[in-house]
A = this chain, B = another copy of it.
Amino acid sequence: MLADAGIRILAEDGARGLTHRAVDAAADVPRGTASNYFPTRDDLIAALVDRIETRLTPDASLAPSFDGRAPDRALFIDYLRDVVRRLTADPHVPLALFELRLEASRRPGIAATLGSWRQRAFQDDVSFNTEAALPGGPTELALLHYAVDGLMLDFLTVPLDTGLSVDAAIRELVIRLLR
């Protein structure tokens, strides 16, 4: 699939490696295919953002069930660990997203696509917490977003040895930030 090939290129070669021709080669399709579907580079990147969103969405049949549990911080820790487990099991997705975020600092077209998606996802997170009666409003979720982004960037690149495992870091972050 073209979008998956693009995500792989972003993660393995960085944002500058992402060209229509590289996508054709990585997806093993005739040259011209990617530019046929996605005429501009911004179109291509919009398709990657859509695909990243899909790959970030948990498969309901595989997700651990949180039914019947009290909406407390312990539940949120398990929920967040599940998110991080999915990200680390599929590291091309978070790495591609970090590449696109840096590329967005240079290209307004990408900034617009990525910005509106991330803003919507953030609002969805806030609504999810409110509806599930989980602890944490916009401020707490913003702080947690920043911290988990930094944790993932660290873990997926050159991890510091801080004595904390990822699971322990998540627990400490939720306990301290979400209240």
Contacts and interface: CB of A to CB of B under 8 A. Distances in A.
A176 B71 CA distance: 21
User: How many copies, total?
Assistant: 2
Interface in A112-128: 114-115, 118-119, 122
Contacts of A14: 14-16, 102-103, 106
Interface string A88-123: 000000010011011111100001001100110010
Given A147-B147, A148-B150, A105 B142 contact: no
A149 B138 CA distance: 19
Contacts of A143: 147, 164, 169, 172-173, 176
Interface residues of A, number: 49
A153 B119 CA distance: 15
B169 A118 contact: no
A179 B162 CA distance: 17
A158 B101 contact: yes
A142 to B, nearest CB: 4
A160 interface: yes
Interface centre among A12, A13, A143 (most CB of B within 10 A): A143
17 contacts: A12-B106, A13-B106, A14-B14, A99-B102, A101-B153, A101-B157, A104-B158, A105-B156, A111-B157, A142-B164, A143-B147, A143-B169, A143-B172, A145-B160, A145-B162, A146-B173, A148-B150
